[in-house]
A and B are shown apart, each in its own frame.
Chain A
Amino acid sequence: MEKYSGLSLVKHSLSHHENWERQWANPTPNKKYDIIIVGAGGHGLATAYYLAKVHGITNVAVLEKNHLAGGNIARNTTIVRSNYLWDESAALYEHSMKLWEGLSQDLNYNVMFSQRGVYHTCHTLGDMRANERLVHANQIQGVDNEMLTAEQLQKEIPTLDCSAGARYPIMGASVQRRAGNARHDAVAWGYARAASALGVHLIQNCEVTGMIIDGSNTIRGVKTKQYGEIRADRVGCVAAGNSGEMARMAGFEMPVESHPLQALVSEPIKPFLDTVVMSNHVHGYMSQSDKGDLVIGAGIDGWVGYGQRGSYPIIEHTIQAIVEMFPCTSRVRMNRQWGGIVDTTPDACPIIGTTPVKNMFMNCGWGTGGFKGTPGSGWAFAETLAQGKPGDLAAPFSMDRFVTGALIDEHGAAGVAH
């Protein structure tokens, strides 16, 4: 792998930037691997990278039915934060945050991680109490998070309507200053390039159509549409919205439902918002990209859907919320709107761990907030796949928790905030 640096930029400028090497290889799959990962999204590629880098397992294939990084990693609103309520999830997301902080250096790929802060506005006494509780929990966990009054907030974000005359007046806000956003495509491409350089096979346009499971309920590999059977000792599914399909192929059900989640971007406008603002109460969130587009996120549709598009009422409600908070944006026109399929769990926390089928593992249920978890998810799932059982980070997130009742209820911290 050619190292990206200022020097390489100068060197390649001499040949008009026409001789950069390809970022990753496109190999034909072998008949057998140690580990197969189904799904080359952010989480799948991160898993492959940490398997190779941390655990030294490079006989790995990542199978992807389309092109890599074309699902939710290409559709999210790029927010990164780690201020979750319970110790289990705070540990996972904070581990992820620490990886984010060194990710560009680690991957030798600029993921444009920008710690511009994420604000949660509070519009009711209930909001204030929930956020104060969150801030206190985070302080005990060693995660940065602080409360601001409406006056302090108005000073920090002048365009936000913090007046008492607003329809849902803002009473205060919590802010995680280490939070921010990152360039979503670069994250996936950086992981893909680094994993490929370590010897991982990235197999694009290879759709998994079935699981090969023997008489002792142990997985032996997968069936694919394009390359027939590919064998493996262990299989890890990281298929987000299609995780339910993976489970169905293997013959079990999961506590997961897939919903459309929408986002919008506006025409580019001059810089006016240098941070991320989200409101659980009026239900919308917004940041401004480096290009100047407003990146706006919505809630999920309440029904199961796989169509990668959502319904119009959600868009309308989201825009209402944004205009309510930022009246100055009322005449900005939207450029694009799209949907992704998110796999939600009943407690708004992911599922990482074993399945009823031996040697088959699942990493799913990241719901509306998977992007921020990309490095931590890959790290924890790589450990699970390498050892054949979940490590300390992943253990609380087993599917068993829905049977034992040890749920990790993050509805408050997850909220609209993705």
Chain B
Amino acid sequence: MLHIYCPHCCEYREEEEFHCKGQAHIARPLDPDNCSEQEWANFIFFRKNTKGQHQELWHHSAGCGKFFNVSRNTITYKIEQSYLLGTAPQPVLDVNKEGKA
């Protein structure tokens, strides 16, 4: 069971209160009427499917109802941080590379 920190409620809650909405930070084409079909397909369907650190959009559907982003490792499932929409994830020291946290 994932324990997810909701940055709106400022609390950790259980996974069942949330819905994962997939990859975060996908930019909508600025001019949808004039973008190519490939650009539109990239926006709608094509995904990074990251093996490792993954930024994704979550919905606190059975809680406050608001959206936020989560940075989570897709191999270990460890959640590094939750952060608000419109912001970038905070850089985190890599324990393995630095040898210390």
Q: Which residues of A contact B (CB under 8 A)?
A: 242, 244-245, 253-258, 302-307, 311-313, 346, 402-405
**Bound complex: CA A254 to CA B72 (Å):** 21
Q: Is the CB of A256 within 8 A of B72?
A: no
A-B contact pairs, 22 of them (CB 8 A): A245-B51, A253-B46, A253-B47, A253-B49, A254-B46, A255-B45, A256-B49, A257-B47, A302-B19, A303-B72, A303-B74, A304-B22, A304-B49, A304-B56, A305-B77, A306-B51, A306-B74, A306-B75, A307-B77, A312-B1, A402-B46, A405-B37
Q: Which of A254, A257, A313 contacts B15 (CB 8 A)?
A: A313
Query: In which size bucket is the chain B interface?
Result: 20 to 34
Q: Is the CB of B1 within 8 A of A304?
A: no
**Bound complex: CA A295 to CA B68 (Å):** 37
**Bound complex: CA A40 to CA B47 (Å):** 25
Q: Is the CB of B46 within 8 A of A244?
A: no
- Chain B residues, CB < 8 A from A403: 37-38, 41
- Chain A residues, CB < 8 A from B22: 257, 304
**Bound complex: CA A244 to CA B1 (Å):** 25
Q: What's the least CB distance linking B30 to chain A, in Å?
A: 19
- Chain B residues, CB < 8 A from A346: 44-45
Within residues 41 to 73 of chain B, which ones have a CB less than 8 A from any CB in chain A?
41-42, 44-51, 54, 56, 72
Closest to B18 in A: A302
Q: Is the CB of B2 within 8 A of A311?
A: yes
Knowing that A257-B22, A305-B77 are A-B contacts, what are 20 other residue pairs whose CB atoms are under 8 Å apart, sorted by A's residue number? A244-B48, A244-B51, A253-B48, A254-B47, A256-B49, A257-B47, A302-B19, A302-B20, A303-B20, A303-B56, A304-B50, A304-B56, A304-B74, A307-B74, A311-B1, A311-B2, A312-B1, A313-B16, A403-B41, A405-B37
